Amino acid sequence: MKYGFVNVAAAVPTVKVADVDYNVQQVESLIAQAEGRGIEVIVFPELCITGYTCQDLFKEQLLLDRAEQGIIMLLDFTRKLDVISIVGAPVVINGLLYNCAVVIQGGNILGIVPKTYLPNYAEFYEKRWFASAQDLNPIDLYFAGNSVRVSVEPQVFVTSDGMKFGVEICEDVWAPIPPSNNLALAGADIIFNLSASDELIGKHAYLKSLLAQQSARTVSGYVYASCGFGESTQDVVYGGNALIYENGKLLVEGSRFSIQPQIQMCQIDIEKLRVERRQNTTFINAQRGAVAREIQCRLITPRDFELLRQIDSHPFIPKEEDMQSSCEEILNIQVAGLAKRLYHINGTKAVIGISGGLDSTLALLVTVKAFDKLALDRRGIIGITMPGFGTTDRTHNNAMKLMETLGVTIREINIAKAVTQHFEDIGQSAKVHDVTYENSQARERTQILMDVANKENAIVVGTGDLSELALGWATYNGDHMSMYGVNAGIPKTLIRFLVSYVAGEMATETLLDIIDTPISPELIPADEQGNIKQKTEDLVGPYELHDFFIYYFLRYGFSPKKIFLLAQRAFADIYDEETIKKWLTTFCRRFFNQQFKRSCLPDGPKVGSVSLSPRGDWRMPSDASSSLWMKECEEL
C-alpha cells in the first residue's frame, strides 16, 4: 500500500460443479495472474472450490474431503506468493458443515470466516446443508494442515503495511444488520464479499444499488465476486458479477454472462476512506469480543486398517423379526399416499400398465388396497397389458392371471402395429434393436396409458422403483412418467420382499412365479425357446449390489472407496473385487448422468430413509460433474 492505495481484485473463474481438481486449477491460474499484476488481495466467489450449486452433494464425504485437499493444493501453490487470496469452500467444524471463506497467503491460512445468514427460500436452500456462524462457539480448528481460530465475532485482517479488511459472504450483505457493519466499526477499510447470486429481471440493478449503499454506509471499499459460468443452470443462471465500490461509488464492473474467467482489478484509496470516517461524526469505532473455549486434539498415529464389523448385504430389507410389521407399514404408506391423491381429485378410476413383472405387480397390489380403503369398486382399476416385440408368454400370462385374481378391469392392447407404423414414420428399421427401437415401445405404452386415463377420467399409477431411478433405468417420458408413482421410494430388493409378503397372504402361484421371473423390460425379442433374452441385471448389474451402493451413497454420503470396502465384506462369498468395482463404477457413472430424469419426477410417497424426490431428499444439479467419484472408482 503506497499513498494509501491498495490493489484489489474480484475474480470469477469458470467452474465445474463438484469437480474440485478442475476448480482449483482455475483458481490457481487467476491467482498467478493476480500476483503478476501486483494485486494485493483477490476475492473469489462463494464455494468456488466445489461449485456453489452442488446441492445434496454437499452431504457427500468425498466432496468435503476433496475440498479440504483442494485448499491444501492452493496452500502449496501460494507458498512463494505475496497476494492474499480469499476463496470459498465448505468446511466441517465441530461436526457441522459451514459455508466458509478461507483467507490464504504465502502457503498459510490466515483465517476462516463462516457465513452468518443462510437463505432458505426459492432456489436457495442453504440451511439444508450448512449451519450458521451464529450457532458457532469459538474453536481452534485444524484444517488443511493449519490451526485456525474460528468464531462468529468480527475478524479484521491486517496487512504488514496497516491495511485492514474484513470478509462477509453473499446473503450476509442482504441482512438488516450485515456483518460488514461490525467489520467496518472494528476498523476494516475494505469488505470482500464471496457471493453466488442468480440472475433475475431487475435483480442486477437492485444488487448494485444495495452494494453502493452498503459501501457508503460503512465508508469502505467493497469488493464483490459472484459465481458465473460453469455453475449448474438446472433452475437458475449465474451471471458472474464482479463489482468494486469505494464509499458508494462504483469503480469497476465486470462483464456479466462471460464464458471466460475474468479478473476485475482496481485501486482503492484507503487513506481517503479513513479521512472520510474521521470527518463523519456518526461513525464510531467499536469492538466486541467473545470468550473462546479451547479444545486440545491429540494426533493418532495411523496404522494398517482392518474392517472388523459385519456388514448387512441387504440394508433395505427388514430384519426377520420385524418383517411382518415393516412390510405392513411400507404398504400402508404407499396405500395412504395413493388414497389421498384419489380422494383429493374425487377420483374413482386408475390406469396402470401390467407387465407381469415385479414393479407393476406391487403397484397394482397397492392400487387395489387403496381402492378397498376408499370403498371404491375395483373395476375402476383399469389394468392394461400391452404386449410388444419382446413380451413372453410367461409374463403375459402372469399379467392376465394377476388381474383376474384381483378383480380389476382388464384390457389388452398390442403395441406392435402402432410401433411398426411409428418406425416407418421416423425411418427406424425394425431389425435394428437400438435405443430408439426400445424407447419407442416404452413411450407408446405410456401414451396409451395417458390417453386411456384421459378418456376414463382416471389417473395413471406409476410403477418405476427407487433402484431404477438411481440408475436412470427408465425411458424418459416413457415409463419414467405417470400421475402418481407409488413405488418411487421402494428399491428393487425390497419390492421382491414386499411381493413375497403379499404372496404369503394370498397364496397364489402367480405371485410366486412373478417373483421368480428374471427382471427385464422385455423390449428385445425373446430367444428361440420363447424365454426372456434381455435381462436387466446382465446389462446394469445385480440389483442387490446397486441397492447396497444406493443405501450407503445416499443415506450416509460414503465415498466409493468406503462403499467398496463395505461391499467387499458384505458380499465376500458372492462377488469378487473386480465384479464389485465394475458395478460400483457403473453406478457412479449412471447416477450422475441420469439425474435429469430424477429432476422432473412425478409425485410419489417417501417410504424409508432414502428418497430421490427432487422436492425432498435429493436435490442435485443435472449437470454436476462426476469426475471426483469416477477418479476414485478408477483408483479402487
Q: Which pLDDT value is given to residue 220?
A: 95
The answer to whether residue 46 is catalytic is: yes
pLDDT at residue number 523: 66
Encoded amino acid at 184, one letter: A
Q: Is 327 marked active-site? A: no
Report the pLDDT value the prediction gives residue 390, as an integer from 0 to 100. 87
| pLDDT at residue 534, rounded to an integer | 73
Q: Which of 271, 269, 461 is nearest to 367 (CA)?
A: 461
Which residue of the set 115, 164, 369, 492 is catalytic?
Answer: 115
How many Cβ atoms sit within 10 Å of the Cβ of residue 353?
Answer: 27
| Averaged pLDDT of the chain | 91
Give the separation between CA 287 and CA 187, rounded to whole angstroms: 9
- Give the Cα separation of 320 and 331 in Å (integer): 17
DSSP-assigned beta bridge partners for residue 100: 89, 114
Contacts of 439 (CB under 8 A, 6+ apart): 475, 476, 478
User: Which residue among 46, 126, 438, 632 is the active-site one?
Assistant: 46
Burial per residue of 21-54, b for 16 or more beta-carbon CB atoms within 10 angstroms, e otherwise: ebbbebbbbbbebbbeeebbbbbbbbbbbbbbbb
Per-residue pLDDT, 370: 97
Q: Rounded to whole angstroms, how far apart are CA atoms 237 and 243?
A: 18
Burial group, residue 241, by CB count within 10 angstroms (0-12, 13-18, 19+):
buried
Q: How many degrees, rounded to 5, is the angle at CA 548 between CA 604 and CA 93? A: 85
Separation CA 403–CA 184 (nearest Å): 73
Sequential DSSP letters for 328-387: HHHHHHHHHHHHHHHHHTT---EEEE--SSHHHHHHHHHHHHHHHHTT--GGGEEEEE--
Whole-prediction pTM: 0.86
DSSP 602: P
Q: Are 53 and 201 in contact (CB under 8 A)?
A: no
Looking at this protein, which amino acid is placed at residue 119? P
How much is the pLDDT for 348?
A: 97
Q: What is the pLDDT, as a whole number, of residue 508?
A: 76
Task: Give me the pLDDT at residue 277, please.
Answer: 84
* Gap between the Cα atoms of 354 and 395, Å rounded: 9
> Got the DSSP string for 136-149?
PPPEEEEETTEEEE
pLDDT at residue 543, rounded to an integer: 94
* Confidence at residue 161, expressed as pLDDT on a 0 to 100 scale: 79
Neighbours of 477 (CB within 10 A): 14
Q: Which residue has the cell 386408475?
A: 350
Mean pLDDT by 10 residues, the chain (636 residues): 84 98 98 92 97 96 97 96 95 95 93 91 81 90 93 85 90 89 88 94 93 94 97 94 96 95 94 84 47 28 68 92 89 96 97 95 96 98 95 92 96 96 95 93 96 98 96 94 96 92 79 86 70 77 96 93 95 96 97 96 94 93 96 96
Of the candidates 170, 266, 327, 633, the residue annotated as catalytic is: 170
**Residue 115 bears catalytic tag:** yes
